[in-house]
Structure 1
């Protein structure tokens, strides 16, 4: 698993079912020499590509610098679940910014989901989109919390969801583990790497220049900021920082507000259409609501894709394939004869409050980070919000900038051990309550 977390320049995608199931893409040229453009974007994941596409649709000249390949980080390795909302609940947003802005933020997230669906259709991005997402409780406390949240979303946010009791859930999900489900028909799931590659093609169709194998070494701030690599420099009127968990010294004040967290997913062998649909009849995505959560869905070729086992120490857990297989068997005992065929992972970035951290580092340097495991849909929104601000429309970015964010305690040396200790408490709470 060590290659999963490598950040050396020039690597192709890490080994995964995602990488194996899409056509190989020609390597784009790296940066060589001096370039001048309207906007330079650091990072060719969902955030950077979405920002580049939104800007190009508005007529801006855009250059994207990517240290590895398009979608090399979390955008090409994640669980593929596209969910309305953010990494925190609406009551957290209300506590941070008040009820009015919390409502604005939630409505923005719904627009982000609509934008995702629009782009899949407009640019003919084939990424195996499927409708439907279920949040499932294991313990009575979790069910009470889900039900209360569902009522709040319906009554105060005009966002109706469905509650399925155990019997209704078992008609769609053949697992004895869960007591019910909060079902969201507006959310869904997709093939992460195919989506990233589709966004890149769409951006290039609009004139965006994407340069791979071009790790940024330095951000030079000023009236016309620059991004420097070992082999060239891009000067621009505006810069967008979209490195998320992989910034590595480019903007220390941003890095201090996020924590890279290792997360993992695996794929079974092909189960066949009948056996796969016997597990999840309606082909929805599913996630439980524990701190150490499990999430799963079916692939287009009838595998079970099963994720979980986050590592807050940023080190891959020992015996990962066996651990993931045992967790899968807890959810689906009928797969006792099936083991994970592949397991992979990578970093996501979390904030202390799990709320999104988007805004302006300087008047001409913009950023979006802190998706906290909910970035598939929210990154498209982030790109649109940043593009609006660069074009002079600040209404939405101003709302996001009102969300307060604090550094992780402990600095570089101690912040990871402190987070490990805190997460151990939440995992214990999942077991005891």
Structure 2
């Protein structure tokens, strides 16, 4: 059973009690909490993208097209997107730790069953259920850190949690690629399931008992009112659209990448294709650089930089040189993480209330973008080759540039009106 989270008296803890209960860097509780969420984040992204680097061999083994095989990624992220808000709401009543533990354990156990799928239909159904199970972690983890970690340490704590996400996402492709090259895709997925189960056990053993959680009643009406209020906010909607567009390109590129590199003129083996996903680490540096870009160019200026980098990277991947394709992937990855960091960071600032739900809506749009982008990109690749996929990506970036330009003009008009009034 997950550790039981304690609640305070109805009056709530005093300020002194709250400060003394917060986890501080250097303490055993803080280290345990960070390691626990690092393990949970790693398990989540190991499982979420476990089939992405294996799509060519899944296509060959099951006799399905790239678009059909891509459903093993698209439906997983779609399941996560649909379940994000309901499961994050459950954590308000039943506690952050129990929901996160149930999420990561159930997803890992499903992961152990997936390699035995007899056909694509069963594989896609199980992957969809796995996505639903994983939805209990992302938004809930952020709420847990905000409640349990000292305010001055939250930024670094979230950074370590995101590092677990990044390493998990990269490792799932790299490990799966090398294992599949020698033992097949089913064994590769089983290995990822075992690693994820070990991470789930580590999370359960390491997580400190929550001391600042207070259960709250779940009110579907109030939740709906908050969500509709956010969707009526033009600024938030623009940020959601940007998250969706950036992720649609990123998802389509990395979904189709294996097919591109395993075919002529490259003919790379599965292990080599998996190692290409090390480019994912570029996201760590570009996410950090996003803050400096915003400071120097403003939010919209940083978005333009991200859009330009993705578009330039897409064009560069059209070359027949592996070095050019890799350079293009670096630009696409860097541009995506800049756009994602700027848009997601702006959501919490733009929402004046219901910030958890505002962030959950952003994540929903983000993962819908991955699902739609992966499927549309794979379909375009199947019908028109890599140039078709690039055309889809450039169209998405053109729309993102239009959304940003619209926001820039609105801001300029508002500034002129303000100057006129003053």
TM-score range, shorter chain: under 0.3
TM-score of the two chains, using structure 1 as the length reference = 0.26
TM-score of the two chains, using structure 2 as the length reference = 0.26
Pick the structure with more helix per residue: 2
